[in-house]
Structures are given as structure tokens and as C-alpha cells.
Amino acid sequence: MNRMPIDAIALAALLAFAAAATSASADEKPRFHWDGYFDQEAVTDALESLADAYPDLTELTSIGTSAEGRDIWQLTITAEKAGPHDTKPAMYVDGAIHGNEIQSTEVCLYLAWLLCDRYGEWERITALVDRTAFYVVPTVNVDSRAHWFAGPTSHEVGRSARMPVDDDHDGLVDEDGPDDLDGDGLYLQMRVRDEHGTHRSHPDDPRVTVRARPGEQAEWTLLGLEGVDNDGDGRVNEDGPGYLDMNRSFPFNWQPSYVQSGSGRYPLEPSNTRAVADFLAARPNIGFAFAFHNYGGMWLRGPSSESSPPVDPADIAIYDWLGEHGERTVPGYRYLVARSDLYATHGDFDEFAYQVFGILAYVGEIFMSSEFAYRGRSDQTSGPDGNLWSRRPRLVERQEFNDHLMAGEMFQPWRPYDHPQYGEIEIGGWKPHAVRSTPGWMLPETLHRNAMFVVWTAMQLPDVALEAPEVEAVADGLWRVRARAVNTAGLPTLAAAYRQRELGRRDLFTIAGDGVEVLSGGVVVDRYLGRVAPVEHRPARLETWIDAQDARVVEWVVRGEGEVTVAYDGLKCGRREVAVELR
């Protein structure tokens, strides 16, 4: 496959942008290079390659189109021979709802490839793909991510939806964004020499511009990204593309823009988020969701603000258990609560999934700035954990990383430029890929560790087995039928929020047979003393659920003869049934 040209930016040494490379033979598995990034055209090519190579495991569909007409691709992964995807417990995974958080798409693609490529080779992967379904949306914000690769770009550009917004209320839209003034294909920083300014050059490295402290002589004023006053209103870069933050657009706890910046005019205004919301609503079998972003090294859960309802304690216990494993799977990542450990937000995807559908969800923030480390044992540790490697690098150390591990390709040296409004300035600074993106040579391990935490979590999706019922004669033509369903996995069949808030029907434990009358039935609340909690109406249909690594026992008294079918049917755990003779 061919990759999209990235102008003449000379970024190959930094990130080694890679296209998906398929095998020449149709009988061979597709192979991809994971030491670089897929632009949006290559993302589509990769998904189509997987769908073509694994028709019994995958189904590729478009769940909607973006404002600019791009498809929002979704890949379903499951072994159809073991049952349709919508009859199995499912995991939803997406990436790049913020278009400039590019490696979140790579995690999704790697996950999809891993599940397909290792199916039939790795025993646990094979069993998982047989038993569960994965719904993968590698890129939610397809427009902004596509523009990010096409360039010019900056790490500060491309987060929002590509929906025109009149940011400065002048009757024009998106007319004054960044400009590539020196034509190098990048939006870099501008600074002007100013002894009464706010910043100075670092004494250990003049490339580094730091804020001047009280009593220090300033040298510079920072002017922001490259740009000019395109609309003549006396401001620079005040009305760029967007701004509407898709991850502030979901309808649970949505707030208008004067409360939550970037929320848009109304919930689900972007077609992308409407497509995601509709997709979740149509698939009640989804039990867990991951939304990948790219900064901070975190596994985040809700609540996201003080106005959000609290998370049920039973669900917190699950989150805590999973979070501990997540921290070990990806060393350096922290399991955090968004509201208390980070900052308050409204209209987030993970809150929407949990509070509206009862889907447990994490936000995975992939990249850690501590990865830009250039330090040894003699360097002083800092940070509350005293871990030399987890602390955030100083800007001077980042330059040392740039010099010694990236041959200087992360940073553009400052160069003079005659600006039409500011006069003599300098343009330079960190290149777009050097701030929030993992260098290509470091990418494979990052992708694998993050994908494997998704895999491990999916292994905890409910796994229910229905044992052969016990039949006991009570009197002539009367029978006691006792059935037991066991959940051997680490997650309950229904989250506590789902149960307590009645977000949908509970699991059904049922009995049925031709000519058989169900006289009574109920859940066995004390399996040792045989106490049963009977239901008053429709005893053949018992609503229930099963906790993690637990069992549910029910009992019926029936009249009749012949065969009866006992079934356990859960929206998020699938259906199991077994037949038994009344004798």
C-alpha cells in the first residue's frame, strides 16, 4: 500500500511514518510495520486488508460520515462459527476522537491486527475471539486526523471537529488560523525579542525558552503559533478551524459552552459522535469500552465532574481491580479518577457510556512525557514515588534526548523572520510530532502493552455456563426443577449502575415446555437451607444477574410431562440453554 506524502517536512527520522504493507500472496496474512504511523488513507487500507484476509473473523462497516464526507470505519472482530457477534459479550474500543492524538488510532489498529493474526495460534486469543466480540473504531475524528497528516500542522492543531465556528463573532468562520509563514510545512512558535517580556533563554541551552522568574531579566515575548492577522481585526490566529470538542459533545451531563468550552450548540452536534452514540445504543451486548487518547499515561474513569452521579461502590471495586492490572501492564501509567485526580469536564464519552448504558469504561491516555528521558543513575530523582524514570523531563533534558536519540530532528532551531505585523521575530521550536507523539522506534511496545490490557480486560467479560438442571418428583405429575448458572469471569453479567438504575432489562432465567405449566419459581437465596424468593407473576421468567466468579441458582415447580428447556439469557453475556426430561 502507498502512504500519503507528508509534504516536504522531513519527518521520517522523527517518526518513520509507515504505511500498511500487505503480503504479496492472497493466502498469506497481511503484515504491517508498527514502528510508524498510518495516515487516514492507510488506516482505511489496513482495515480493508484485515477484512479481506479474515472474512470469517471480521466485518468492516461505516457507521457514519464526517462533516467533510469521510467514512467513520468500524471493524467487528469475532469468530462467526462460534455465533453471531450480537449474541456474545462485547468490548468497544475507539481512538482519535481528538484528531491530533494520532497514536490512539494505532493502538486500535494494532489490537485488531493482533486478534486476527494470533487467532488459531495463541490459545487464549483464539478462545477470546470465539467467545466475545470486539467493535473497533480506530478513528472517530476522521477529518481532523486526516488534515493533521496532510499538513501543515502543529501538536496544538487538529483536536476539534472540522465544523466551521465563528470564534471571534465577526460573521466569518475559520478565517484566521495558523499560517505556515516560512513554508517548511510546520506550524511552529513565534517569539519576539523583548527585555520587558515574559521569558528568557535557559542558561544551559539557548534553544530552550523558559518563563523569567521575579528578578530575572526577560529576553522574549512568546507570540503563539505562526500566523498573521488575516482578517484585520488586530488579533492573530483567533479563528482557526473549529472549535468543537467531540469529547465534550455527548448528551450525559452536557453543558453549554459558557460552562464547558468546546461543547457545541447542542449535544451530539457532530455527526461523528451521533454515529458513536447510535452504535452503542444498538448493541446492548457491549459490557466494557476503551476510548484511547494520547497524553499523560493514565487509565481514567469517571465521574468527570461534581455534577455527575457517584459511581456505584461495586463498580468502583471493579475499576480498582482492573486499574491495578492496567498500571502493571503499562509501567508508568496511573489509574486515576477524572474529577478528583485531573480536572472537571462535561459531556465525555466514558461518562455517557457508563451513566446511560451501564457500560464500564476507561479512557486510555497513551503517551508519557517521561519517555523523553536522557538520564542516568547519578541524576537526582524527584517526584512522590522517587522513581527516576517516571518523572517528567525538564525541557533541557528533552533537548538532550532530541540530540542524542533523535539526531536533533525533534526541534527546529530558531530562525529570524520579518513578520508583517510584529516586525523582526524568530520562528522555531518543537516540531508537531515531538510533543505528544511516541517516536516510531518506541512505538511497538507502547501499542502492544496498551492492546494487551484491552485483551486482558476483555477476558474478564462475563462467561456464563448453564449446568444440567436437577429434576425431582414432588407428587404425581409435579416436579421441582433446580438450575444453576455460573459466571467464571472477572466481571458481573451486569454492572451495578445498570442494575440499580434499571438501564435495561436484567438477565432472564427461564423454563418452558409444551404442555408444561409453571406453578411457581424464584431465585434460591440460601442454597444451603434451600430458601427461595418466589415471584408473584410469570414465574417461568425470572429476572436476575450473576456477580463475577459467582453462581445463580433458581428453582421452579412445574406440572406436566415431557421435555423442558431451561435457558439463561443475558444482553451482555449471551444465551445458554439446556433441555431436560421431567422424570
Domain ranges in the chain are: 17-149+244-367+444-458, 164-241+370-434, 464-581
Q: What is the mean pLDDT of residues 4-10?
A: 36
Q: Coil, strand or helix: which one is 182? A: coil
Cβ neighbours of residue 98 closer than 8 Å, sequence gap 6 or more: 141, 144, 158, 159, 160, 245, 246, 247, 293, 294
Contact (Cβ atoms closer than 8 angstroms) between residue 494 and residue 545: yes
Q: What is the mean pLDDT of residues 418-442?
A: 93
pLDDT at site 574:
96
Any idea of the CA torsion for 159, 163, 165, 171, to the nearest 10 degrees?
150
pLDDT at site 510:
98
Q: The dihedral of CA 387, 388, 393, 394: what is its sign?
A: positive
Q: Over the stretch 512-539, which tens digit does the pLDDT of each residue have?
A: 999 999 999 999 998 778 799 999 999 9
pLDDT at site 322:
98
The amino acid that residue 397 corresponds to is: E
Contact (Cβ atoms closer than 8 angstroms) between residue 546 and residue 506: no
pLDDT at site 384:
55
Listed in order, strand segments (DSSP E) in 372-506 are 411-419, 423-430, 464-466, 470-475, 478-487
Q: What is the mean pLDDT of residues 203-212?
A: 95
Contact (Cβ atoms closer than 8 angstroms) between residue 392 and residue 372: no
Cell numbers placing 98: 481528538
CATH superfamily of 464-581: Immunoglobulins (2.60.40.10)
Q: How far apart are CA 277 and CA 349, in angstroms?
A: 9
Q: The dihedral of CA 106, 112, 116, 118: what is its sign?
A: positive
Q: What is the mean pLDDT of residues 176-182?
A: 92
Look at the pTM and tell me if it is higher than 0.75. yes
The pLDDT-based confidence of 373 (bands split at 50, 70, 90) is confident
Q: What is the mean pLDDT of residues 265-293?
A: 97
Any idea of the CA torsion for 247, 249, 252, 255, to the nearest 10 degrees?
110
Q: How far apart are CA 332 and CA 310, in angstroms?
A: 27
Beta bridge partner(s), residue 186: 153
The rounded Cα 170 to chain-centroid distance in angstroms is: 36
Sequence length of the chain is 583
Q: How far apart are CA 325 and CA 333, in angstroms?
A: 10
Q: How far apart are CA 579 and CA 510, in angstroms?
A: 12
Q: How far apart are CA 342 and CA 337, in angstroms?
A: 7
Q: Coil, strand or helix: which one is 483? A: strand
Top pLDDT among 401 and 27 is at: 401
Q: What is the mean pLDDT of residues 444-465?
A: 98
Provide the pairing of β-strand 360-365 with 298-301.
antiparallel
Q: How far apart are CA 180 and CA 7, in angstroms?
A: 12
pLDDT at site 375:
86
Q: Over the stretch 117-143, which tens digit does the pLDDT of each residue have?
A: 999 999 999 999 999 999 999 999 999
pLDDT at site 175:
85
The rounded Cα 219 to chain-centroid distance in angstroms is: 42
| Mean pLDDT over each residue of the chain, to the nearest integer | 92
Top pLDDT among 369 and 17 is at: 369
Q: Over the stretch 484-516, which tens digit does the pLDDT of each residue have?
A: 999 999 999 999 999 999 999 999 999 999 999
Backbone angles phi, psi at 568, to 5 degrees: -115, 120
Top pLDDT among 411 and 7 is at: 411
Cell numbers placing 150: 496532510
pLDDT at site 329:
97
Q: Over the stretch 467-476, which tens digit does the pLDDT of each residue have?
A: 999 999 999 8
Q: How far apart are CA 201 and CA 24, in angstroms?
A: 53
What order of strands is seen across the sheet that includes strand 199-202? 205-211, 199-202, 220-225, 189-193, 423-430, 411-419
**What CATH class does 17-149+244-367+444-458 carry?**
alpha beta
Percent of the chain's residues with pLDDT above 70 = 93
- For residue 497, which of 285, 277, 315 has the smallest C-alpha distance? 315
- Given a cut of 50, whether residue 13 has pLDDT beyond it is no
Number of neighbours of residue 418 by Cβ within 10 angstroms: 9
pLDDT at site 447:
98
The rounded Cα 500 to chain-centroid distance in angstroms is: 26
Q: Over the stretch 15-30, which tens digit does the pLDDT of each residue have?
A: 444 444 444 344 689 9
